[in-house]
Amino acid sequence: MEDGPTNSNLKVQWMSSNEAAERLGVTTATLYRFIDEGRLPAYRMGRVIRLKESELEDFERTCRIQPGSLSHLIQE
């Protein structure tokens, strides 16, 4: 009897730094800043940095602007 996928059945989808930066619409330097500030998890595998697609999606959700939070930027 199966209740759905388990952690052992889920395959991690890895992204390169360039792929992640392109997806976010930022430069790789900005992506590295997010990583260095601890805002975005990343993994060093040998000489390359990889990011989990699911963690990038989580990061994207945390960046969503809440309505009413930009009033200080609006000039009247």
Residue 11: closest CA among 52, 43, 68: 52
Tell me the H-state helices in the chain.
17-24, 28-36, 53-62
pLDDT in tens, the chain (76 residues): 555 555 556 799 999 999 999 999 999 999 999 999 999 999 999 999 999 999 999 999 999 999 988 888 888 7
For residue 40, with 0-12 CB atoms within 10 Å meaning exposed, 13-18 middle and 19 or more buried, which class applies?
A: buried
What are the residue boundaries of the structural domains of the chain, listed by start? 12-61
**Cα–Cα distance for residue pair 42/17, rounded to 1 Å:** 9
Q: What's the predicted TM-score (pTM) here? A: 0.77
Output the CATH code of domain 12-61.
Answer: 1.10.1660.10
